[in-house]
Structure formats: C-alpha cells, structure tokens
Amino acid sequence: MRAMVLDRPKTPLVMRERQASQPAAGEILVEIAACGVCRTDLHVVDGELPDPKLPIVPGHEIVGRVAAMGEGVSGFTPGERVGVPWLGWTCGMCPYCRSGRENLCDRPLFTGYTRDGGYATHTIADARFCFPLDEAHDAAEAAPLLCAGLIGWRSYRIAGEGQTLGLYGFGAAAHILAQVAAWQGRRVFAFTRDGDTASQNFARTLGAAWAGGSSETPPEPLDAAIIFAPIGALVPAALRAVKKGGRVVCGGIHMSDIPSFPYSILWEERRLVSVANLTRNDAREFLAIAPQAGIKMQVTRYPLARANEALADLRAGRFEGAAVLVP
C-alpha cells in the first residue's frame, strides 16, 4: 500500500510504501477510492492540534470498499461501499459514552489524528464506526459528507430551527449545509473573506439569499449563525448579527483566540456554543437526509501524491467547495 505520512508537524507529508495490515477482530480493511481534505487535516499538519500519533497518515473523509474483515465483524460484506469518519473509536464506558454523548468520550481515537487515516490506498477501521454508503455519488463527491457533512449537520441541528441562518466561512461544510437549509425552506446568509466575490457568487448559486464579506452586517438580523472559519474574531461579529435569543455555533475543532467583547452583544439570551466531533447517530441521520436534499458536492480532485498541494490550496482558499484525494 501507499500512504502520505506526516512524520512531524509543520513538515510536508512524505509518500511511503507500507505493508498493508490485516484487520484484527472487529476491524475492516478498506481499499480507499477517495479521501476528502478537511481543514482539520490542516490543523494536524500545522501543529495546531496537540499530541497526534506520529508518524500519522492524515485524512478522515474516507470512501472505499471492504477489502477484508476481521473476526466478529457483521453487517458488512466484501466489496461493499463504506464511509470512515473522524470519530474512529470510543471507550463505551465513560459517563459521556454511557449517556449517549460519545462525541465527548474521555478516551476517543480519531481517524487521521490518533489512528491512521485515508491519505493512502488502504486503511484499517473499527467496523462499528463505519457506515454503508449508497452509490448515489461517485467516491470523490461522497467523501466530503463524512466530515464536512456530518459535523456540519451536528452544528446545523444545534443552531436550532430558525428561518434565517448565517454561515461564516463558505467552504466544504457550508456549501453542503446551504443546500440542506434551502431544501428545508430556510434563508441562508453566507459570509466569506472580505472581497472574495467568487465565493459569494458560488454561495448564491447554492441558494444563499445574501452573500457578503465577514466584516459586513447582514441585511436583516439572523436567528442563528454557524462559524466554520477558524477565526476567533468572527465570534463577536456573529453575536452582533443574531437576534435576541439567537445562537452562535462554533463548528470547528480549532479556532484562534476570541477577542474580548461587550456583554451587551451576548445579553438578551443569545447563546454561544461549540460543537465537538460527532456521534454515530449524527451520521445515520445525515446520511439518510443527504439524498433526499439532493446535495451536489463541488469537488476539486488531486492524485494522492499531490496531497501537500491540496493542503496548500485549502490553506490559501484556492478552490470552491471541497478538495478530495483520489488514490
């Protein structure tokens, strides 16, 4: 098998030939057809997330087929199409797992961070944390659903059922959620980097009622806002944009420091919350809704060997939608 490996943070990934492992009890070997390039991968590669397992194969938006199954695996068949997400394993024993909040597990493993991920031709995954995928999209188009879609969906649900929704940072997750919101009859207000007219036009093609720079004030108050851009300064801006009783959801795993802000923009029962990881129930819900909503992914494909280029393009915002590696 071939894999793009991170030996230490802040260094380029290196292509390595490895012996493909055989799955242990409860695991499956996945032959990878596509793996999305997520901003969380950037946080791992750039050293913004602590204590990765090194060396590590990044990537946690994996679409592939079951190549082999370990002892005791049920519910899958050889050759079946599967998705492997960010949440790779939980203990099942801590208070969070026992109360249905496995996204907050005390001892989790994460795909592409603390266990090897999908920047490779093959990967090993815990079968309990994999999901069957239909054939509605090709592999590259399906890959962003496994994180941008799943964690985006969790953020979307936590944002509530208001009719006006702001999305700060119009990348992979926002371009999926904008379509879900439009399908549900909500109005989306897209906030991009100031002056990024290409992303603003892209947001409008996906049903956004308004699109502008992140420093702009929307034309009407919002019921809720989700922040996907890892920029703490957007928190006060979003709080100012939401109505009384509105919610601001921080949807990323990493964000720069939030600057101080006056209590007056939080008062009147506005709520500021974060989203951590996902649960398997989030995945089951979203993967059932995605085909109903008719989601169409905008993807830029890269060969596996060009993973460093894909990461650099994501860092610089050189494409719309999502980047995907295709082995």
CATH of 150-274, one of 3.40.50.720, 3.40.190.80, 1.20.1250.20, 1.10.357.10: 3.40.50.720
| Ranges of H-type helices in the chain | 39-45, 95-98, 139-142, 150-158, 172-183, 197-205, 234-241, 280-293, 307-316
Q: What is the pLDDT of residues 94-111, one digit of tens each?
A: 999 999 999 999 999 999
Check if the beta carbon of residue 145 is closer than 8 Å to that of residue 286. yes
Q: What is the pLDDT of residues 181-238, one digit of tens each?
A: 999 999 999 999 999 999 999 999 999 999 999 999 999 999 999 999 999 999 999 9
Give pTM, 2 decimals: 0.95
pLDDT < 70 regions, the chain: none
- Torsion angles phi and psi, residue 101, rounded to 5: -120, 55
- What gap in Å lies between CA 48 and CA 220, rounded to an integer? 35
For 146, the token pair is 């496994």
Which one, of 149, 189, 191, 186, lies nearest residue 168 by Cα?
Answer: 191
Q: Where are the domains of the chain?
A: 2-147+277-326, 150-274
2-147+277-326 is classed CATH 3.90.180.10: yes
